[in-house]
Each structure stands twice: as C-alpha cells, then as structure tokens.
Homo-oligomer: A and B are copies of this chain.
Amino acid sequence: MDDDTGTLPPKQDFSGWFNDILWRAEIMDVRYPVKGLYVWYPYGFAIRKFVYNRLRELLDRDHEETLFPLLIPEQEFMKEAEHIKGFENEVYWVTHGGTTPLDVKLALRPTSETAIYPMYALWLRSHADLPMKYYQIVNTFRYETKQTRPLIRLREITSFMESHTVHATWDEAEAQCEYELGLTKEFYDGLCIPITISKRPDWDKFPGADYTIAVDAIMPNGRTLQIGTVHHLGTHFSKTFSINYEDKNGEQQLANQTCYGISERSIAALISLHGDDKGLILPPAVAPVQAVIVPITIGKRHEDVLAAAKKLESDLKAAGFRVKMDTRDMRPGAKYYWWELRGVPLRLELGPRDIDGGKVMAVKRTGEKSSLELATVCDGVTRVLAEITEGIRAKAEEHTKSHLCSVDSMDALNTALNDGNVAVVHWCRERECGDAIEEKANSSILGTEVRSPYVAATDGKCIVCGKPGKATLVGRTY
C-alpha cells in the first residue's frame, strides 16, 4: 500500500524500527486524522486474527464469549468510587444524539466493569449459578494525555479481551486468578514471548481491586511493556452493584469477582521481540503465511517449474499449511526481500535443478537453509517450522534473561537501568522505600513476588531499609 522507499532502520534504533515496520510490513497505518487512532491494514489484521483465535481457543476451555454494549450511562459509571478516580480523566463522553443533548451522558467504556456488573446482578441468583466466567473481545477507549503509540498506547484499544468471573468465595476467585495466569503463560508461550509475572504495588493496582497481578515483557530497548493483568476484585464491585447469591443455607452472600485483560499490546510485543534488521519474524503458529513458494523459472524450464510449484502448493495446502505461491513478475531477490520484511517464517525456492533432484530448498526466515525431499515435503515443512519456532523462542528467552539484572545497591540499580535492563531487587513493600526506589532510579516498581524462570524468588534484605523483602522488579515502562 506504500512504496518501499528507503530502508528499515536497524533494530538497534528500536523506536525508529518500530515506527517503520508498522507501515513497511503493512500492519498499521498511522495517518488516520485523529491522534491515537490507527488503521489495521489487511496483513496486520490477519496477524491479529491468528493471535486472537489462539486466545479464544484458550479462553473457551472454561469461559464463554459474550458481548456487552460500548456505552455506559453516567450513573452506572459513577457508582464505584475508586474505579471512577482511576478513570475519570480518561473517559470519552457522548453528550449529543444528532443535535439533541442527551438526558444522560454516556461513557465510552474504558473497561467494562460498570457495563457488565449491573447485568451480573440480574443474572446471579443462587450458588448453583456459580462460577460465572464470561469474556468479550471489544474496542475500548481512553483519552490518553501521554504520548500515543500504535499498538502500545491508544485512544481506541481495538482488541481488548476482558474476562469477568464471579465466584462464591475469595479463595475461589484467587484460584481463578492463578488459572488465568496459567492461560496467559500458555498464550504467550505460543507466541514465543517470555513473560515476567509480579504483583503490582498497592498504589499501582487496578482501581477497585484487592490486588493486581501483572504480566510484562521486556522490549528490545529494555523497557517493559505490560501485556496482561489479572485482578482479584474481592467484593468491591459486588457490594456496589449488589451481586449477591443465595447460598446452600438460603442466606444472601456477596459474590467475589475477578477480571482479566489482554490487548493488542500482545501484538506489539510479538512484533518487537522477534523482528530483526530485515523486518518481521513471525512464529509459524500465528503467521498469516507460514511458507512462501518462490518458483525460480529462469530459462526454458518455465512450465515444468511452475507445474511443480503448483503441486507443492496444493500438497502443502491440503496438509493444512498456510502457503502462498509468489508468481509475480519480479526478480527472486526482490521477492525474498518482500517476504522477509513481512516475517514469513519459511521460504521454499524451487528451480529446475531442485525438481530434477526431487528436492526443494527451504530457507528459514531465522537463517539456515536446507534441502527437503519433495516426496515427504509435508513432514519436512512440519519439522522445519518447529525448528523455526524453537529458534524464535530461544532468541527471545536469551534476550529476556540477559536483560534481567539482580542488584543489591541503589547505585547498581541505577547502572542496571541506565544500561537498558530490568532490575531485580529486594523490597520490604513499604511505600516509603518504594518511593525511594522509584525516585532515585527514575523508574517504576513493576511488581513484587516475582515469578520468572530467570529470577530467583528468594527473600532478601530491602535495598533501601534493609528489612526483610521480596524479589521485586524495577524497570522503565512504556
């Protein structure tokens, strides 16, 4: 959709690379005439589709999908005090229908607690209705005053998956939080994205939650990106919205709730973590095109090669692979460049000599070449795609591991952050010490009680006061 003029900035200039890759690989057009709103190109939308299909599959194991309205009447939105405080500066308000002022202002959902919970109050009657586990994937809106960025900080979040569950007891809600963290791990593992899990400090939890567990990824520049959150809501909202049930003894009880969200930041992380100087690198599981076939039809064997390429394409399609054959009138080198930019994991080159030998050349987007037997090509492609996935995962794990840096002094903390790392410290979980850490290092406490295969979860002395503390992540965030 745009001319391929100039070249992609090197990945080391991450901010330039990210801005450029969005249009060069046809993910997103940033020229929409409202700040913070962007357009999904068909190719970007196809990536989104495969990513969200995976998410749906996971959620459908024990949730059901629903859809609630976008517009929330002011009186419902304003019911839960903490929640309002958290969102009141960020809410878009609809005030007019046509030229008529509305009797009741309508909020565009920034998140849907206040749209969903009045209905849950109607739906929940008895303990037999519990647990209730529903989710929706919707557009939500935040009037961001900070700098907006495509996929990362948006005014229209186009792809917000929000799950809202209801349980009889606090412990059951806690168990649900853990279950959903498990789903999240599985989801990101499928995208080859290593995550850290930690409990946000109290002052940074979701407005109206008992606690918030956050899932972060470490971006190429060492900044962290929050790519998922699970909130234990306790009875905050059930009190406000009267979400009660009759227990086995016939008594009314307040329900316990959780909510849980994942947005298109998942795709920001996907793109950013795996790409390289040549462009995107997509894990096969979510690549719209898993393999591109490039027939090398120079000379007079043109028809032979084309016929063999077509057979290869139909064999692979029949086996369920997402394959494209590129027969455009372009030099092979230009085609390679084009598909590499778009992150297609595997290129299959087929020329006269390959056919004669009953082979096809398989070139991984991640580097190596190998020759596959045409007779068993589906098995070969399965194997090579699995190797590509492992290669992508290993590289992302290496990156994450090398950017998690354990430190035990404030000076070392500063150095670690200035070197583009995320620091692991011990912290006593007192606000005063937390403030000291954040101010001194111009950073944020991401969370404590860290769970990551790369971080020792042992207790230690608080980096500020020396009292007993828990392993805690400190980083510079998006």
Q: A residues within 8 Å of B by Cβ?
A: 1, 29, 31-34, 37-42, 45-46, 48-49, 64-71, 73, 76, 88-100, 104, 106, 108, 115, 118-119, 122-123, 129, 134, 139, 141, 143, 155-156, 158
Q: How many copies of this protein are present in the complex?
A: 2
CA distance A37 to B97 in the complex (A): 14
Q: Which residues of B contact A34 (CB under 8 A)?
A: 69, 71, 73, 104, 106
CA distance A92 to B96 in the complex (A): 6
Shortest Cβ distance from residue A130 to the other chain B in the assembled complex, whole angstroms: 13
Shortest Cβ distance from residue A343 to the other chain B in the assembled complex, whole angstroms: 18
> In the bound complex, do residue B97 and residue A94 qualify as a contact, i.e. CB atoms below 8 Å apart?
no
> In the bound complex, do residue B92 and residue A31 qualify as a contact, i.e. CB atoms below 8 Å apart?
no
Shortest Cβ distance from residue A177 to the other chain B in the assembled complex, whole angstroms: 22
Q: Which residues of B contact A93 (CB under 8 A)?
A: 94-97
Interface of A is mostly: mixed
**Whose C-beta in chain B lies nearest to the C-beta of A143?**
B97
Q: Which residues of B contact A67 (CB under 8 A)?
A: 39-40, 45, 48, 158
> In the bound complex, do residue A119 and residue B65 qualify as a contact, i.e. CB atoms below 8 Å apart?
no
CA distance A119 to B42 in the complex (A): 13
Question: A42-B64, A96-B95 given as contacts; is B69 within 8 A of A122 (CB)?
Answer: no
Q: Which residues of B contact A139 (CB under 8 A)?
A: 70, 139
CA distance A108 to B92 in the complex (A): 11
CA distance A115 to B95 in the complex (A): 21
Shortest Cβ distance from residue A158 to the other chain B in the assembled complex, whole angstroms: 6
> In the bound complex, do residue A98 and residue B106 qualify as a contact, i.e. CB atoms below 8 Å apart?
no
CA distance A410 to B169 in the complex (A): 69
> In the bound complex, do residue A123 and residue B64 qualify as a contact, i.e. CB atoms below 8 Å apart?
no
Shortest Cβ distance from residue A381 to the other chain B in the assembled complex, whole angstroms: 23
Shortest Cβ distance from residue A23 to the other chain B in the assembled complex, whole angstroms: 11
> In the bound complex, do residue B69 and residue A39 qualify as a contact, i.e. CB atoms below 8 Å apart?
yes
**Whose C-beta in chain B lies nearest to the C-beta of A135?**
B42
The residue from B66, B71, B95 contacting A39, defined by CB atoms under 8 A apart: B66
CA distance A108 to B94 in the complex (A): 9
Question: A37-B71, A118-B33, A122-B31 given as contacts; is B98 within 8 A of A88 (CB)?
Answer: yes
> In the bound complex, do residue B65 and residue A45 qualify as a contact, i.e. CB atoms below 8 Å apart?
yes
